């Protein structure tokens, strides 16, 4: 938490504050992800404007969780550069753009902001490595360890007439 009132910012002034943040375990789609056990140092830049307060959060960390293809442990780097704005007098109807959800009174909740920003910065597909081959759909063997003994999947018979037209019919 940062007490903004203690900074006593005048319009045009900017301050940077480094805050240790413990990232909570995240459950996304029923899958658990975790940040490092030690606190991560987040840098918060605060700029007082004539009309409000501009906030910027920056941090870099790693997130651990299962690979989406093979289910082995994956560690992904996450870099955050998030911004928020808090208007002194938000306009009616524009509150969603002019009110910072992480600011309650003069207290800025950096930990919650950092956790939300990490979730938004995570890639859609978390992989243990770029060329992960995943699991065999038939037997569940890890294809990164080598091919399994399953026969190749049979072709879909619905494509047969098209194969005949193209002259690619294996029969």
Domain identity same for 141 and 64: no
DSSP assignment letter at 171: -
Domain identity same for 143 and 125: no
Domain identity same for 150 and 108: no
Domain identity same for 62 and 93: yes
Host domain of residue 56: 2-132
**Taking 60 as the threshold, does the pLDDT of residue 69 lie above it?**
yes
Entry pTM: 0.73
- Read off the pLDDT of residues 13-22 as tens digits, 9 standing for 90 and up: 888 889 999 8
CA 134 → CA 141, 160, 161, distances in Å? 9, 29, 32
Domain identity same for 171 and 100: no
Count: domains in the chain: 2
**Taking 70 as the threshold, does the pLDDT of residue 10 lie above it?**
yes
**Taking 80 as the threshold, does the pLDDT of residue 94 lie above it?**
no
Domain identity same for 94 and 128: yes
Domain identity same for 45 and 107: yes
């Amino acid at each position: 938490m940062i007490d903004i009132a203690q900074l006593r910012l005048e319009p045009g002034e900017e301050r940077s504050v480094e805050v240790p943040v413990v990232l909570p375990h995240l459950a996304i789609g029923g899958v658990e992800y975790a940040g490092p056990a030690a606190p991560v140092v987040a840098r918060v830049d605060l700029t007082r404007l004539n009309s409000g307060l501009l906030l910027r959060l920056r941090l870099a960390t790693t997130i651990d969780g299962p690979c989406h293809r093979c289910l082995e442990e994956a560690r992904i780097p996450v870099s955050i550069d998030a911004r928020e704005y808090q208007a002194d007098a938000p306009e009616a109807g524009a509150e969603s753009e002019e009110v910072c959800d992480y600011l309650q009174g003069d207290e800025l909740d950096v930990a919650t902001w950092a956790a939300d920003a990490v979730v938004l910065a995570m890639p859609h597909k978390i992989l243990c490595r770029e060329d992960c081959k995943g699991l065999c759909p038939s037997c569940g063997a890890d294809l990164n360890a080598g091919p399994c003994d399953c026969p190749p999947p049979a072709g879909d018979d619905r494509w047969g007439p098209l194969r005949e037209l193209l002259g690619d019919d294996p029969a």
